[in-house]
Structure 1
Amino acid sequence: MRRGALTASLAVLALAMVAPFVIVALNAVKSKRDYTANGPFSLPEGLSLEAVADFWTRVDFGEKLFNSALISGSVAVLAVLLSVLNAYAIGIGRVRGRMWVLVVFLAANTLPQEALVYPLYYLAKATGLYDTRLAVIIIFTVIQSAFGTYLLSAVLGQFPREILDAAHIDGAGRFRALWSVVVPISRPTLSVLMIFFFIWTWNEFFLPLIFLVSNDNQTVPVVLGLLQGEKMMDATMSSAAALLGIVPAVAFFLIFQRTLTRGVTVGAIK
């Protein structure tokens, strides 16, 4: 009885979460006449991609999609790489003051982005990187790697020393042991971290809004935020914009869902 009630409650919650996305998707494929005549909660009379095509052309969405993919993919790879190097030194190398180093990384994770805007803006201006995708990649690589270092330091701190000792006996140096032993064994955890870094960076809005002022460099969340409330955006085009903003992140998650599940399961078993 309890299990049935719990299942029913979860089903209701799932429907409540999915319903807004379904409504947005239905309105995105309606024509303007259909939306005006039948309202937002009716099924579309026919499939119309006019709103999607108009929005795509108006904002050059393909370019914004490329910018977001480039920035998010670069940050995901570079942040995991930097996190592994830092965590290997802290978790396995046992550097002096290890606890204080981890406290610094933990404190860095608690800093609000608003507190970082002015110093980062000044540095970007001084180095000539303002309004470039490289500036955003560097900033988010450092921000994401602060969390990655803190997490991986705890994971690598429990790494079996016997495996490393065996690698050293076979003649492997520190870097070879890292790339040939530690990284392959930790691959499920690193895969999960890379997926999270990609999604988190993709959804970032505030810092890209500040640092990417040119239309050619803007990301998907920025262009969606800037277009909200414009008089030229009707209901169907707004729904198309929201749908196009959601689909890439959802598609990426579904593609790598098995990797994410495997990584979490392996971590739980360990």
Structure 2
Amino acid sequence: MTTTLAQSPVSAPARSRPRRRRRGPSAYAVLVALAALAGIMLIPFAVVVFNALKTPAEYTANGPLAPPEGLHLEGIRDFWERVGFGHVLLNSLLISGSVAVLAVLLSVLNAYALGIGRIKGRMWVLVLLLMANTLPQESLVYPLYYLANQLGLYDTRVSVIIVFTVIQSAFGTYLLSSVMSAFPRPLLDAARIDGANRWQILWRVVVPVVRPTLVVMLVFFFIWTWNEFLIPLIFLISNDNQTVSVALGVLQGQRLMDATMSSAAALLGLLPTVVFYLIFQRTLSRGLTAGAIKE
């Protein structure tokens, strides 16, 4: 007698689906607070945009906080023509971009020697770099002016590029040396076993790992150099070499601008850095949140 065993079908294991966390009231309260804070921070920028698009008569009649009644670009056009803003903008882009790239490159080379090479007196070098970052620029102006004058570099963009490259690389070296001192030694040993020399280890092993940190430094160095005023004001006295910040300061000091043109000048000086930040915003966020060294 043949007995047939009825087998119950074996159900496939249910796939675990990731459960979405429900946001509680506290999370929504934080979002509302952050949105309100962002709105408050955008108020000065909105006021600048409003006033840059007004006529002087409209500014006088309605005040600085009222939105513009139309799209008036006379203030922007007048400021652009008065200072030759296209040439001034090119000067700032050239100086800030050169300083950002050269300072990052110099920081990589210095930090590689300090963090991985472990040269003698490493701690004293880092202390000197830290002290250099605390010096006010006012104390450096006269020695730098005298040195640039003796070398024939005064009133040239090269002098400002050299000065800010050294200043920014001091901070970059201090930051990168701490990152590279924690670099995984097995990666370096494996590269040496494969026959890589020190130069190949730097560019093929170390730099790809610390690239997020380098991008963050590049963005910060560009913005910091763009906003510098004192040293460019003293070193770049001719109109052909002036930067955006110097051109704004000189015109406002000469009282050649009304309120609408001042707002137009501030808007034109701010937009390039905003655009630069937006271009690198995603990369900058990854560099700030991701670990530079992965064990």
Alignment partners' CA distance in 2, 1:243 and 1:57: 15
Is 1:103 the counterpart of 2:127 in the alignment?
yes
Q: Which residue does 2:223 correspond to in 1?
A: 199
Alignment partners' CA distance in 1, 2:46 and 2:293: 36
Alignment partners' CA distance in 1, 2:56 and 2:133: 45
Alignment partners' CA distance in 2, 1:171 and 1:30: 66
Q: Which residue does 1:267 correspond to in 2?
A: 291
Is 1:250 the counterpart of 2:254 in the alignment?
no
Is 1:42 the counterpart of 2:66 in the alignment?
yes
* Distance of aligned partners of 1:9 and 1:265 in 2 relative to their CA distance in 1, 3 Å threshold: closer
Alignment partners' CA distance in 2, 1:167 and 1:269: 17
Alpha-carbon deviations, 1:98-145, whole Å to 9, x = none?
111111111111111011111101100000000100000000000000
Which of 41, 58, 62 is the aligned partner of 2:82? 58
Partner-residue secondary structure (3-state), 1:95:
coil
Which of 189-198 and 8-17 deviates more? 8-17
Partner-residue secondary structure (3-state), 1:267:
coil
Q: Which residue does 1:164 correspond to in 2?
A: 188
Alpha-carbon deviations, 1:206-231, whole Å to 9, x = none?
11111111111010011111122544
Which of 228, 241, 255 is the aligned partner of 1:217? 241
Is 1:178 the counterpart of 2:178 in the alignment?
no
Which of 156, 163, 166 is the aligned partner of 1:142? 166
TM-score (norm 2): 0.88
Taking every aligned residue pair, what percent have the same amino acid on both sides?
69
Partner-residue secondary structure (3-state), 2:291:
helix
Alignment partners' CA distance in 1, 2:205 and 2:223: 28
TM-score (norm 1): 0.96
Question: Which is richer in helix?
Answer: 1
Partner-residue secondary structure (3-state), 2:155:
coil
Alignment partners' CA distance in 2, 1:187 and 1:193: 10
Bigger radius of gyration among the two: 2
1:71 partner amino acid:
I
Which of 85, 95, 100 is the aligned partner of 1:76? 100
How many correspondences in the alignment?
270
Which of 85, 90, 99 is the aligned partner of 2:114? 90
- Give 5+ residue unaligned stretches, structure 1: none
- Give 5+ residue unaligned stretches, structure 2: 1-24
The structural deviation recorded for 1:185 is: 1.4
1:250 partner amino acid:
V
The structural deviation recorded for 1:93 is: 0.3
Partner-residue secondary structure (3-state), 2:290:
helix
The structural deviation recorded for 1:43 is: 1.7
Q: Which runs of 4+ in 1 moved over 6 A?
A: none
